[in-house]
């Protein structure tokens, strides 16, 4: 991510290149950005993960919550979407 690049002295913005309104962090990249939400919606997975998004704090907790609740195929789909994003 950009933060790692900045830590290494490479000048680059930490503003999300998709929405240009928020600082880019793990939550924003995978869940919070409208572009990411659209990807989840188009994949038919937003309805599945949206409860986890509302009820937890942080990306890791959200993913853990989702992966503990769903069947293996849905977990595979969620994992693949994270990789694609």
Answer yes or no: is pLDDT of 1 > 70.
Answer: no
pLDDT digits over 19-77, tens only?
877 777 888 888 888 999 999 999 999 988 887 777 777 888 888 888 898 999 999 99
Tokens of 32: 């919070």
Distances (CA, A) of 34 to 10, 27, 42, 69: 27, 12, 12, 24
* Residue 2 burial by Cβ neighbours in a 10 Å radius (0-12, 13-18, 19+): middle
Q: In this predicted structure, what is the pLDDT of residue 62?
A: 85
Give the three-class secondary structure for 39: helix
Give the three-class secondary structure for 23: strand
Question: What pTM does this model have?
Answer: 0.74
Q: In this predicted structure, what is the pLDDT of residue 44?
A: 93
Q: Where are the domains of the chain?
A: 2-84
């Amino acid at each position: 991510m950009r933060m790692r690049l900045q830590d290494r002295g490479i000048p680059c913005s930490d503003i999300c290149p998709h929405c240009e309104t928020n600082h880019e962090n793990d939550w924003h990249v995978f869940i919070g950005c409208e572009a990411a939400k659209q990807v989840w919606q188009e994949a038919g997975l937003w309805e599945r993960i949206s409860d986890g998004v509302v009820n937890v704090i942080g990306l890791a907790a959200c993913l853990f919550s989702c992966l503990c609740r769903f069947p293996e195929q849905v977990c595979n789909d969620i994992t693949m979407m994270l990789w694609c994003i």
